[in-house]
Each structure stands twice: as C-alpha cells, then as structure tokens.
Chain A
Amino acid sequence: MDYNMDCYHGTSHTNTASIINNGFRPSDGDNEWLGDGIYTFIDRGLKNPIEAAEQWSEYRAKKSKYQFGAVLQLNASADEEDIIDLNSEDGIKYLESLEKNFKDKLREVGKSIKSLEGVLINFGRNELGYSSRIVIGNFYIQLTQEQLNLHLRQRTPNCTICCINDPGCIDQSSIKEIKQWRIEYEVR
C-alpha cells in the first residue's frame, strides 16, 4: 500500500465495543461532504485530529444525548490510485471536471444543482468507476461551542477529513479507544 495513515473518529463510548468487534457502519447519503464512508480526522498540519475528534464527539453528544464520549484511533491504508486527495492538484481537477460536466448537462434541460461534493464523489465512484476507496479534504468545521455560538464561518479550513469509503482499507485490529470522558451538559 502506498499510503498508511492514523485516523481518529469521535463517537460515543457506547459504540466503541461494537465498532472494535464488528467494524464501522459507514455514513451514507449524497449530502455527506466526501460521499459515503467512515468519517475520520487526520493530521495534515491543521487542527490536532485527536482534539478535533473529541470536539466532534462532544458536538454529536448534544444531539444524540449520550453520556460518555470516545475517540477511536485506527489505521487505514490504500494505494495512491485508490485515494482522491482534494488537497492535491489531481483531486481538484477531478472534482472540477465532474462539476463542469454536471452543470453543463443539467443546463441542457434547464436544471441546476446545489449541494454537490458528496454527489460528485459518489457519482464518480458508482457511474464512472473511479474507486476512491479513501477521500481526503480540508474543511472548516464548527467544532467548539464558541464557534457554534458565534456562528463562525470561515473559508479557511481548520481540519482535515479522511473519508474511508471501503472498510477494507481499515486494519480492524488497529482500532482502539484512546480517550473516554463523561459529557458535561449545561444545567438550565
């Protein structure tokens, strides 16, 4: 394998045993940023991925109301040809080519499309055969309560997401819980 990386996934402690024993359940849906897959944070010089995963778990806890958060570490690998890196010139050109063709084709029938990235990735994989077992991209994500409260939106990315579409890229034996904590809820 050309690429081997440590990935970090924020979740609830309740899910940990099931993930370690049975594997991840990929998110699916074309509204996902990088298409279908298992969403993790990786280190590409932006936000510390462990901290990002912890904050993501906290964010999810507010919605799902779980008591204990967890950060899982896992190792993923794939050949270069199976990775779409949207921080690379090749990845950008690929996405731009798809988007241009999408919009041109839809314009023929008087239609337009909005939310795109996840659809483009899934479409390229399913219809055009580009494997994209792993997709990497930088995003700005509101992770802290302060960012959420202030509705901070920046074009400058603050973290790197690694979406693992093919669970076979994950070394199942590498999955381990590296952090667990009680979620603190505000008392009103």
Chain B
Amino acid sequence: MKFDDNVQKHIDEYFNNISGEDFARLLSDKYHVALSDVVSDDIEGEKIINTIENFSLDSFSVADDISYSEVISEIIDNCGERDVTDKLDVQSDMTPAEAA
C-alpha cells in the first residue's frame, strides 16, 4: 500500500469522529483487547523505577559490561511491560559503573 496524505487524512478523520468511550468499547468488545488503566500503569512504573533505584550496583559481577538498558530490558521482560521504557527517564546509555 502507499501511505500518502489521503491515507493519513482518512485515518485522522476516523479517529476524530469516534469518541474515546466508543473506541475503547469497540476494542474491548470486538477485538478482545484488555485495556489497562493508565493510573495503575503509572503505579507499576513507579514500582519499577524504585526497584532500579534501589538496585545495588555491587550485585553486578561484571558491572562494567552491564548497561542500564540491559537491566531495564530484563525487568521489562520479567514484568511483561512493553511501554514502561516511556516512564523510565533514566540514564539508559550509562553503565552502572559510570553511574556509580
């Protein structure tokens, strides 16, 4: 398919003409999507941030080789969270050693 201005306009028009409530209901009823409550997601995000902040860097046996992004990826994998990185405004490119 070609994605051009007409396709963009068509998509935007659809979403401009449906209410959030109707859209959420459609996803839930027809597409069986389990929608999350943003508030509870934020709470989960806070928990994960706290976990990282409280994480003892000494526990890394090869601290120089492990980056925050790897730690975050591991936590995301284990928690099943996919969009939690949005909430983690940490030094993702720093290694624990650098951070310490």
Q: Are B35 and A111 within 8 A (Cβ)?
A: yes
Q: Which chain A residues lie closer than 8 Å to B30 at the CB level?
A: 126
**Residue interface mask A120-163, B partner, CB < 8 A = 1:** 00110011101010000000000000000000010000000000
B27→A113 contact, CB < 8 A: yes
Of all chain B residues, the one with the shortest Cβ separation from A123 is B31
**A95-127: which have CB < 8 Å to B?**
97-98, 101, 104-115, 119, 122-123, 126-127
Write the nearest CB–CB distance from A95 to chain B, whole angstroms. Answer: 9
Contacts of A111 in B (CB 8 A): 20, 24, 35-38
Chain A, residues 64-87, CB within 8 Å of chain B (1/0): the string is 000000000000000011111000
Q: Is the interface of B mostly helix, strand, loop or mixed?
A: helix
Complex-state Cα separation, A153 to B32, whole angstroms = 27
Check B23 against A105 for contact (C-beta < 8 Å): yes
Known: A105-B18, A108-B20, A127-B14. A97 touches B35 (CB 8 A): no
| Sampled A-B contacts (22; CB under 8 Å) | A29-B32, A30-B31, A30-B32, A30-B33, A80-B2, A82-B1, A84-B1, A90-B1, A90-B2, A93-B3, A98-B11, A101-B11, A105-B18, A105-B24, A106-B23, A110-B38, A110-B39, A111-B37, A112-B37, A123-B27, A126-B30, A128-B11
Q: How far is the CB of B23 from chain A (nearest CB, A)?
A: 5
B80 to A, closest residue via Cβ: A114
Q: Tell whether A94 is near chain B: CB-to-CB under 8 Å.
A: yes
Q: Are B82 and A112 in contact, CB atoms less than 8 angstroms apart?
A: no
Q: Is A167 at the interface (CB under 8 A from chain B)?
A: no
Given contacts A97-B11, A106-B24, A110-B37, 18 further A-B contacts (CB under 8 A): A30-B33, A80-B1, A90-B2, A97-B7, A98-B11, A101-B15, A108-B20, A109-B23, A109-B24, A111-B36, A113-B33, A114-B34, A119-B31, A119-B33, A126-B30, A127-B14, A128-B11, A130-B7
> What is the interface of chain A, defined by CB distance below 8 A to chain B?
29-30, 80-84, 89-91, 93-94, 97-98, 101, 104-115, 119, 122-123, 126-128, 130, 132, 153
Contacts of B21 in A (CB 8 A): 109
**CA of A107 to CA of B82 in the docked complex: distance in angstroms?**
17
Given contacts A30-B31, A106-B35, A109-B24, contact A153 B15 (CB under 8 A): no
Q: Which residues on the A side are within 8 Å of B14 (C-beta)? A: 101, 127-128
Specify which chain B residues have a CB less than 8 angstroms from the CB of A90 in the assembled complex: 1-3
Q: In the complex the two chains form, what is the Cα distance from A29 to B32 in whole Å?
A: 9
The closest CB in chain B to the CB of A84 belongs to B1
